[in-house]
Amino acid sequence: MIIFPDIEIQDGKCVNLIRGRMDAPRIYDLTPLEAAKQCIDAGAEWLHVVDLDAVASKEDSNYKLVEKIIQFASDKAHVQVAGGIQQLKNVDYWINQGAARVVMGRAAVTNPTLVTEAATKYPGQIVVSIDARNGKVVIDGWKRATAFEPLALAKLYERAGVAAIIYTDIDHEDESPDASFSQTTEIAEALDISVISSGLVKTLDDISTLKYLRGISGAITGRALFGGVFTIEEALEVAAQQTTYAPLQ
């Protein structure tokens, strides 16, 4: 299973959003580039880099900083770029800059034709991000619920040929008392493409649990990693352990 260190950038700083709130980020005491170097030097093969200012449609986004991360990673690791990618020219830009994958979230709900066009143009390089709360897909920083059910939306893009689905279980992220791994499990078992879990990793035990879920190819982690709950080395070690699946009944 792949560990994707989650490097979220706001105003040039390495941050993490609590419950999706842009106005009250947790700010870490290292720059985004330092975070990238730290993870890659420790053995990370992928980075998940999010430009939060681009999500908020700010004119002064963090493009140059993301470019530096891609340049540093170069022949060392792959970079998966996310944040405000809602036009084909945005996809073209990041692929041309050297991004291994481009993540499309809001556009997957508002402009499915665009996502399908991008997946056709760049096979194996487009990832769809689905955020879900109370059984419905939400967009616009988790503020607006849609009529889409997560699995139905994921199935749509599986047929469109995207490389993977990032599934964020907001109920678990919000520490709802009824939250479990069940929603992510359902999505992963129902799809024939890779599913990357987001919002579930709070401890090393969570990484170990995700390894035993069929269809989970990776896990995005930021708050626990940069908050000191575990190190990237520890996360990679757990993720690399051999897994034996029980036979289906």
Active site residues: 8, 131
For strand 46-51 and strand 2-10, is the pairing parallel, antiparallel, or unpaired? parallel
Give every CB contact of residue 240 below 8 A, 6+ residues apart in sequence. none
Residue of 171, 157, 172, 242 whose CA lies nearest to 206: 172
Alpha-carbon torsion (70, 56, 23, 104), positive or negative: negative
Number of Cβ within 10 Å of residue 243's Cβ equals 11
HSE at residue 158, side-chain half, CA atoms within 13 A, is: 15
Residue of 101, 220, 224, 240 whose CA lies nearest to 169: 220
CA dist 25 and 151 (Å) reads 30
Distance of CA 101 to the CA centre of its chain: 11
CA dist 132 and 217 (Å) reads 19
CA dist 210 and 162 (Å) reads 22
